[in-house]
Amino acid sequence: NTMHYYVAVDIGASSGRLILASVEEGKLHLEEAHRFKNGFEHVEGHDRWQVDHLICEVLEGLSKIKARGINHVNLGIDTWAVDYVLIDEAGNKLHDPIAYRDSRTNQAIANLTSALPKEYIYEKTGIQFQAFNTLYQLYTEDKNDLKRADKIMMIPDYLGYVLTGNAVTEVTNASTTQMLNLRQGLFDKDLMAEVDVDADQFPHLVEAGTLLGSVRRKWHKQYDIPETDVITTATHDTASAVVGTPGFGENWAFLSSGTWSLLGAELNTPENGLAAFKENYTNEWGAYGTYRFLKNIMGLWIIQKVKAELNDQYSFADLADLAQQEPAFRTFIDVNDLRFQNPDSMIKELQAYAKETDQFVPTTPGALARVIYDNLSLYYADSVQKLAQIVGHPITTLNIVGGGSNVALMNQMTADLAGITVVAGPGEATAIGNIMVQMIATGQVKDVVAGRHLIEDSFDLKTFQPDAKQDPHVLANYQAFLARQLKGDD
Ligand code: LFR
């Protein structure tokens, strides 16, 4: 009766980790084996990810696991979505990949949709319009490079390829390209043609939970690492996060709260009608034939940037404590305003926004944090209401997972404003979902429902009930504010 070990490689925009997992006495046991920094840097005229550094860190992490006396692991990789690497015929990358926050696609939606109407693209794909989608990145890509590229690989697929030599395109992440055809379940020929990509440039599509292969001997020669079988997990971090969310029944929604806040529902059939189109909801493909029907909300990115600009003098916990001491709801902001996507200074951007809209201007760390937490919570509550309207059934529980689920202040505010129960945790839902898909692939866990019960039994979840004393006008006022802002944008 040997113990099975699983490794989740979970890489986000600011850091990556290797989480080592096993099941002990009926509980899922997690340990962080290795952590490293990630981030884009401005090189050769663009913001780029250093992907080979990520490979080294994965191998470094595996050698730490070997040093514990573990000789065999399964491993799955998840990262953020939409970005890709161009590979030449010899199997080498042409450049470090350009990061999705790079400004090259700023005009791309407008340009591409002058030829192909938005409604047409949405009807085909069901995917939200974000300038960073692979579709628009490829549209602005250097056409010579694109021609030279034998293969185009999404980031986690590329990492798996370098480790094993085997290339696939995993569907949960591929759907974020906005190039998969919902009805056919394949890359869409018209969209491919529009951006000068051939059907065979993307490696063949695979479902989450397929075996990719073993880590190549050449890496064993350079690093002392365990025998490692790579399983193509739900490679989009948000897809893994949803698998790792302990929601049950029909009336729950998820909020994967990290650099981005992804709020939505797990559906069995896509919802790409007019209401979803108008609210820019997306139907990203999930593991096991589900759909992540969700909205991207700017998320903790805003506070991450503020924290960094304050020279990391305050921890996130400090900022939450300081925010708690400030009066609530003094300044409304549209957190999804594109000006917050990659500003030179987040603090100055927030202050300019407050000034331009004649509201209280936050200056202290506590006031800045308060504005951010208030407005994220307001936006969450608004999105829960819209979600319920579009999917056509009530949402009674919001499961908040990811790092943001540790911010009790926001959990309580969101429960109050939305008038629903918030269940917070686990904070590690993404790594857990990554591991769950591996465990289902090896047969250690029966299916997602069984996996979610295991998660519920293994981690300490916290429940926040709505406070009946919450002033109902706050959300309505915020919604009116948002509507005015959006009108002003047209
Ligand atoms: C979250 C995430 C989102 C995606 C964004 C960009 O980490 O993967 O789901 O919209 O990053 O890739």
pLDDT in tens, 7-57: 999 999 999 999 999 999 999 999 999 999 999 999 999 999 999 999 999
According to the annotation, is 236 in a ligand binding site?
yes
**14 labelled as ligand-binding?**
yes
Q: Which two tokens stand for residue 417?
A: 């404003």
The tens digit of pLDDT for each residue in 153-169 reads 999 999 999 999 999 99
pLDDT for residue 489 is more than 80: no
Atom of ligand 1 lying closest to residue 13 CA: 7
Report the residue among 100, 102, 238, 243 best suited for mutation to probe ligand 1: largest number of ligand atoms under 8 A from its CB. Answer: 238
Residue 317 marked in a binding site: no
Give yes or no for residue 260 CB within 6 A of ligand 1: yes
Q: Hey, whose CA ends up nearest to atom 7 of ligand 1?
A: 80
81 CA: nearest ligand 1 atom = 12
Cβ of 177 below 6 Å from ligand 1? no
Residue 238 annotated as binding?
Answer: yes
Looking at per-residue pLDDT, the higher value among 472 and 327 belongs to 327
HSE-up of residue 446 (Cα within 13 Å, Cβ side): 5
- Give the N- to C-terminal CA distance of the chain in Å, as an integer: 64
**Calpha distance 435→34 (Å, rounded):** 16
Determine whether the shortest distance from the Cβ of 100 to ligand 1 is under 6 A.
yes
Q: Which atom of ligand 1 is nearest to the CA of 83?
A: 12
| Protein residue with its CA nearest to atom 2 in ligand 1 | 80
Question: Model confidence over 69-124: pLDDT tens digits?
Answer: 999 999 999 999 999 999 999 999 999 999 999 999 999 999 999 999 999 999 99
Residue 110 burial class via C-beta count within 10 angstroms: exposed 0-12, middle 13-18, buried 19 and up: exposed
**Cα of 2 from ligand 1 centre, angstroms:** 37
**Per-residue pLDDT tens for 259-295?**
999 999 999 999 999 999 999 999 999 999 999 999 9
Average pLDDT of the residues in 455-472: 93
- The answer, yes or no, to whether any atom of ligand 1 lies below 6 A from the CB of 170, is no
Q: Which atom of ligand 1 is nearest to the CA of 80?
A: 8
Examine the residue annotation and report whether 52 is marked as an active-site residue of this protein. no
Residue 157 among known ligand-binding residues: no
Q: Please indicate whether residue 301, judged by its CB atom, sits closer than 6 Å to ligand 1.
A: no
For residue 2, pLDDT over 80 is answered with no
pLDDT value at residue 490 = 46
Q: Which pLDDT value is given to residue 184?
A: 96
Rounded to two decimals, the pTM is 0.97
Give the separation between CA 338 and CA 349, rounded to whole angstroms. 11
pLDDT at residue 199 is higher than 90: no
Of the candidates 237, 334, 374, 416, the residue annotated as catalytic is 237
Strand 72-79 vs strand 6-11: parallel, antiparallel, or unpaired?
A: parallel
Mean pLDDT of 123-132: 97
Task: Give the separation between CA 433 and CA 264, rounded to whole angstroms.
Answer: 16
| Distance from Cα 222 to the centre of ligand 1, integer Å | 32
Percent of the chain predicted with pLDDT > 70 = 99
Mean pLDDT of 301-316: 97
CA dist., res. 436 & res. 446, Å (int): 10
Q: Is the CB of 263 inside a 6 Å radius of any atom of ligand 1? A: no
